[in-house]
Amino acid sequence: MSKLSDQILNELLQMGDPARASHSQRFFKTGIGEYGEGDVFIGIRVPQIRAVAKRNRDATRQDALDLLHSKYHEVRLTALILLVNLFARANDSEKHQIYKAYLSNVAYINNWDLVDSSALQIVGHYLFDMDRSHLEVLAKSEDLWERRIAIISSYYFIRQYEFQDTLNLSKILLHDQEDLIHKAVGWMLREVGNRSQSTEELFLVEHYKTMPRTMLRYAIEKFPEARRQAYLKGDI
């Protein structure tokens, strides 16, 4: 590790709160057999983490990658925020390097908050003007976090009022076994609907009777109550 990355690590370690760490261990499901099994928390609030990243804007891509390999969850989140910030001000060549590094280090992007804080800003943003077919590869991965990266990355396209990739990925993930994917797909469908309810409903009418209940509930959360109940009762 460089002097700066070591300094950032020490700063984060000194900010830890054992009570908050214990709560986070439970909240992020770190027990045996749970999705976050083995993850270790220091106990730092997200605004504190963002403040550390902001204070260390001179950190390089390599500094961020060094931190991303930490066993501590909050250190990895700091690393990803640093990468997001670097990506936002990078030239095209550096954006490509950050994108490649991100996908090469998915093993360390191994909880839903880590994915949700970085995937759309790096992967989605990078692929917006590129061939997006790799998202389908990720969506078909055996790795839970690669699949979540795929669908959350499409949020960047949704924000640009481009919905087809999200619908295609949602169809691939429609019968996924993981609750975290059900929630993510439902969330992205809801975001499509926030911009074009007719587009979302064309997808739902075809698939709502077979999609997981959690996915459906997330997708229709903002619908008028009568319409929401009609979907839940299968009366569409």
Nearest to 11 by CA among 71, 74, 57: 74
| 72 and 163 together in one domain | no
Q: How confident is the model at residue 105 (pLDDT cuts 50, 70, 90)?
A: very high
- Shared-domain flag, residues 46 and 108: yes
Same domain, 35 and 100: yes
Q: What is the mean pLDDT of residues 170-199?
A: 98
**Number of folded domains that form the chain:** 2
| Residue 43 and residue 125 in one domain | no
Please count the other Cβ atoms lying within 10 Å of the Cβ belonging to residue 236: 12
Token couple for 104: 């090469």
- Both 132 and 101 in one domain: the answer is no
Residues 88 and 158 in one domain: no
Once rounded to an integer, what is the mean pLDDT over residues 139-155?
98
Question: Would you place residue 192 in the very low, low, confident or very high pLDDT band (cuts 50, 70, 90)?
Answer: very high
Residue 5, pLDDT score: 95
Q: What is the CATH number of the domain that holds 155?
A: 1.25.40
3 and 113 assigned to the same domain: yes
Same domain, 3 and 111: yes
Joined together, the tokens standing for residue 131 give: 């061939």
How many whole angstroms separate alpha carbon 75 and alpha carbon 42? Answer: 9
Query: And the tokens for 148?
Result: 């979540």
pTM: 0.96
What pLDDT digit, counting tens, does each position of 8-28 carry?
999 999 999 999 999 999 999
Domain, as residue range, for 232: 121-236
